[in-house]
């Protein structure tokens, strides 16, 4: 998230440079909400810094963020879900845990990398927000997605490691989240992984 934030200078509010691509932007916004939910980002302070730095009224500040971020994001999410409602959940039987010890480099500036990271963030946010996944399962999957994110922060990644952590999580999610926001987020992540790490797919 920090790569999209331009902190305030002087008395003005900070600026958020969301990705231009619609799905990447929505993924980044969902990732921010996930950080609000788990306490990594304090929502009130964020609203003050990026939406109404001049006001000291809590209601005014939160309303500014609601009108400038939350409501537009919810509208866009609804449009996205309606557009993709009839799309089939991907079959990932060809996605396998590699036995190879192969290590590959990661270009953190590539579209495949940024798309995969955004899709991972969006999937984590969808899992956190889901009411259909039991808390113990949710905690496990979020931990697995977080571990995958940490692996991808390196300049190189061991294919067997990312496959062992991420593939079981995606396989489990596909089986139980067909037709839901989580299922759509899984599909989006798989499409990005095909670009970034095609060797995961046999």
Domain boundaries, the chain: 2-84, 103-200
Are 127 and 174 contacting, i.e. CB atoms less than 8 angstroms apart?
no
Residues 6+ apart with CB under 8 A from 8: 14, 49, 50, 53
Taking residue 37's Cβ as centre, other Cβ atoms within 10 Å add up to: 13
Whole-model pTM: value is: 0.56
End-to-end CA distance of the chain, in Å? Answer: 32
Q: Please list the ranges in the chain whose pLDDT falls under 70.
A: 1-3, 8-12, 34, 37-38, 52-55, 81-82, 84-101, 202
pLDDT of residue 123: 92
Residue in this structure with the two tokens 């139980």, named with its chain if needed: 176
User: How far, in Å, CA of 19 to CA of 137, rounded?
Assistant: 31
Q: For residue 182, which of 147, 136, 145 has the smallest C-alpha distance?
A: 145
């Amino acid at each position: 998230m920090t790569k999209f934030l331009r902190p305030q200078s002087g008395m003005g509010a900070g600026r958020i440079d969301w990705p231009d691509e619609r799905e990447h932007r929505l993924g980044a916004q969902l990732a921010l909400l996930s950080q609000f939910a788990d306490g990594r980002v304090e929502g009130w302070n964020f609203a003050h810094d990026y939406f109404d730095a001049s006001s000291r009224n809590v209601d005014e500040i939160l309303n500014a963020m609601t009108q400038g971020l939350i409501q537009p994001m919810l509208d866009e999410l609804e449009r996205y879900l309606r557009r993709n409602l009839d799309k089939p959940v991907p079959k990932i039987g060809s996605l396998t845990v590699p036995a190879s010890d192969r290590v590959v480099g990661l270009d953190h500036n590539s579209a495949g990398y940024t798309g995969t990271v955004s899709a991972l963030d969006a999937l984590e946010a969808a899992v956190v927000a889901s009411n259909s996944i039991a808390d113990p399962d949710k905690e496990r999957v979020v931990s697995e997605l977080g571990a995958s994110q940490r692996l991808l922060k390196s300049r190189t990644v061991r294919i067997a490691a990312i496959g062992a952590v991420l593939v079981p999580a995606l396989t489990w999610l596909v089986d139980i989240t067909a037709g839901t926001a989580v299922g759509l987020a899984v599909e989006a992540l798989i499409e990005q992984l095909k670009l970034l790490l095609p060797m995961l797919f046999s």
